[in-house]
Structure 1
């Protein structure tokens, strides 16, 4: 069985157990992975990845030259966290809710990427995730978030309250389903 087939099986089983937490029956494709990490490289330093699942975006970060030991993988699902630890032994894997990021990630980071299904979360939860993430991001750093929706998955009220701005940086029709990527950063 190939890695892609095994990853699809992991995702499908996790989706069956909790569709709102996983939000997709299949992992993201290479087209989306390359798009979400295209502004990140070895010069970025530490990168926080929220909801890495099977590690599709993690592999894209490694292809971009980010050192594995500079990656912090925050995965709430124990079934995925164990898999990530085996696949990326030099990365720091944290099995926890991303809304509590500020409690377990003391080091500053140069960027964050997110595979979290923000559209299926309450605004209060999205606020906690973004507040915690930006408390750990250095000056000028950004969070890269993808969505299957046609607009930014972060409610305007949350962006305004945290003094953040969101810009769509690209889309890919070569992902199933098609996806859009946003750069979320501190308002200037």
Structure 2
């Protein structure tokens, strides 16, 4: 699914459920490049994608992997999960909630080297006192990395500030990128490394 068809699909899903669809349209290749930058260029990395939507980051991850490693995608929307399975047969796409990540990796005997997230801020809210960021960190290898994008105008919203605090408390290093102006709307990337 490409171009305007993908945009229409995103808008339809956003209108139906704005709290579970993070974006109003597919991410640009410029944002995707920043999101997947931590994916190792060699070896057999395990990459997990949370909330891949219609596959903007999925495509970039697959290019970066070049047939290496494992790529697991967790998509809550059943229609998008099916579309991803058709578009990217090498990706193990699971229709599941991001909070199921630790169990899904344990079933496969894996830990993630990189987690790439396109989830909305609402998905990161603590459940039973545990923020999603903690579950992600616990699923990563010792030197693992986590990326999350956000629109620039949401950076100062309470959920974004809460997540930033969670990242600082959970990872040794957290960096916020410069604004990716060539995305609509403009966005930035949070990169967190080395879970504590």
Q: Give your verdict on TM over 0.5.
A: yes
**Unpaired runs of at least 5, structure 2:** none
The offset of 1:157, in angstroms, is 4.6
Deviation readout 1:109-139 (Å, 9 max, x if unpaired): 1111110112x34631594422222222111
Residues 116 and 93 of structure 1: is their aligned pair in 2 closer, same or farther, counting only changes over 3 Å?
same
Q: Within 5 Å, which residues of 2 pair with 1:18-167?
A: 18-43=17-42, 45-67=45-67, 70-106=70-106, 107-118=110-121, 120-121=122-123, 123-125=125-127, 127-148=130-151, 149-150=154-155, 153=160, 155=162, 156-159=164-167, 162=170, 165-167=173-175
Provide the C-alpha distance between the structure 2 equivalents of 1:173 and 1:16, rounded to a whole number of angstroms: 24
- After TM superposition, the score normalised by the length of structure 2 is 0.83
TM-score, length-normalised on structure 1?
Answer: 0.86
Counterpart CA distance in 2 for 1:134 and 1:145 is 13
Aligned length: 186
Aligned-residue Cα RMSD (Å) equals: 2.5
**CA displacement at 1:176 relative to structure 2:** 0.5
Aligned-residue offset at 1:67? 2.9
Unaligned residue ranges in structure 1 (runs of 5+): none
Cα offset, 1:41, TM superposition:
3.2
1:69·1:92 contact (CA, 8 Å) conserved in 2? Answer: no
Could you tell me how far 1:173 is from its partner in structure 2? 0.5
Task: Assess if the C-alpha contact under 8 Å between 2:168 and 2:174 holds in 1.
Answer: no
- Tell me if structure 2 keeps the 8 A contact 1:46–1:71: yes
Greater Cα offset, 61-70 or 5-14? 61-70
Change (3 A) 1:31 1:137: same
Conserved? CA contact 2:124–2:132, under 8 Å: no
